[in-house]
């Protein structure tokens, strides 16, 4: 599984070779088939595992944290820690969900991502004037996009923004959690969870 993960996540289903996985594992190609029967089955196992990692339980976080700042910090932290441990996960997932969108149905099931409940949490903070109005899909897309693109688009960004200096880019990645958190809180004009006094000053844009 370790060998398969390494090869699949970097090369993708189409680019991966059973021979390479076997070599990586230090075993024989036939033995690999003995364990997993087909390449597809082996891939499915890795894909499902990856989806489980990358889709953190946002529901739990929203339920546990009452303070809006803490909610954002916890979600950003959840993505950051997972991705930093698995830097190739974003590009792998993007690659594979687009290659075969249907496989999502199987991998997502059991992951109780209920958008209606999440919308409720957000709407309450908006109604109370804690944050500027925004819908959950936009907020979520912004957060996920900002967290994932530095990894998924690393070759391009490192080339264009850092003259291909990998060390500088690694430093940049370490700053992302803090920057994205602050970026979101400022964008939503968050000033604290007790909005008395400035509640009326929130500019309604979204």
Partner DNA sequence: GTCTATATGCAGATAGAC
Partner DNA sequence: GTCTATCTGCATATAGAC
Nearer to DNA, 36 or 62 (CB): 36
- The secondary structure of the chain as a DSSP string is -HHHHHHHHHHHHHH--HHHHHHHHTS-HHHHHHHHSSHHHHHHHHHHHHHHHHS--HHHHHHH--SHHHHHHHHHHHHHHHHHHSTTHHHHHHHHHHH-TTHHHHHHTT----HHHHHHHHHHHHHTTSS----HHHHHHHHHHHHHHHHHTHHHHHHHHHTT-HHHHHHHHHHHHHHHHHHHHHHTT---S--TTTGGG-----
Measured from the CB of residue 101, what is the shortest distance to DNA in angstroms? 20
Near DNA by CB under 7 A: residue from 1, 10, 38, 182: 38
- Residues of this chain that interact with a copy of itself (CB under 8 A) are 10-12, 14-15, 55, 88, 91, 93-95, 97-99, 101, 104-105, 108, 113, 115, 132, 134, 136-138, 140-142, 144-150, 152-157, 159-163, 172, 175-176, 179-180, 182-184, 186-189, 203, 205-206
Near DNA by CB under 7 A: residue from 1, 34, 106, 145: 34
Query: Is residue 64 part of the contact set for DNA (CB under 7 A)?
Result: no
Q: Which does 19 bind (CB under 5 to 8 A by kind): DNA, a copy of itself, none?
A: DNA
Q: Which residues contact DNA by CB under 7 A?
A: 16-19, 27-31, 33-35, 37-40
């Amino acid at each position: 599984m370790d060998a398969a993960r390494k090869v699949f996540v970097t090369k993708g289903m189409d680019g991966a070779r059973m021979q390479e996985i076997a070599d990586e594992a230090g075993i024989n190609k036939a033995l690999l088939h003995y364990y997993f029967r087909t390449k597809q089955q082996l891939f499915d196992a890795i894909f499902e595992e990856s989806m489980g990692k990358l889709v953190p339980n946002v529901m739990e976080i929203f339920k546990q944290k009452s303070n809006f700042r803490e909610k954002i910090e916890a979600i950003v932290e959840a993505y950051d820690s997972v991705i930093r441990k698995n830097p190739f996960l974003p590009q792998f997932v993007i690659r594979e969900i687009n290659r075969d969108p249907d496989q999502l149905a199987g991998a997502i099931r059991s992951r109780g991502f209920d958008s209606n409940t999440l919308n409720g949490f957000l709407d309450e903070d908006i109604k109370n004037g804690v944050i500027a109005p925004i819908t959950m899909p936009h907020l979520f897309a912004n957060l996920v996009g900002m967290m994932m693109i530095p990894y998924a688009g690393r070759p391009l960004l490192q080339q264009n923004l850092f003259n291909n200096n990998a060390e500088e880019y690694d430093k940049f990645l370490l700053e992302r959690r803090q920057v994205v958190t602050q970026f979101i809180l400022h964008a939503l004009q968050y000033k604290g969870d007790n909005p008395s006094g400035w509640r009326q000053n929130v500019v309604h844009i979204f």
